[in-house]
Amino acid sequence: MLSERELKDTPLPKEGQLVGIAKKLLGADRVLVVCSDGKERVCRIKGSIRRKVWIRVGDAVLVELWGFQDDTRGDVIGKYTKAQKQWLIENGYLPEDIANIA
């Protein structure tokens, strides 16, 4: 069960952002992410996240889309815990079939 503190710290996607699952690590601070809309995107791990958080295959991440590259690229701007991932699935932010992709 998600504690109140974790729930308050769960960043929800805003406009231009999606929740996704890391499918494959590509190297050079890039990761292939399957987003909640069903599309696969090559995402760059932002520097502020790269130095603090390790991203592994199967992790739920928050992706900010690039507006200028025909909807195929984005930036990873956050990572969710396992409890937060479960909460996102239960509340419809992350489809069940995508969440079990890894």
Tens of pLDDT along the chain (102 residues)? 556 665 667 788 888 899 999 999 998 899 999 998 889 999 999 887 878 888 999 999 999 998 776 688 999 999 999 989 888 888 888 888 888 876
CA 25: distance to chain centroid?
A: 13
Prediction pTM value: 0.85
Alpha carbons 75 and 91: distance in angstroms, whole number: 23
Long-range contacts of 46-51 (CB under 8 A, 24+ apart): 46/75, 46/76, 46/77, 49/76, 49/77, 49/78, 49/79
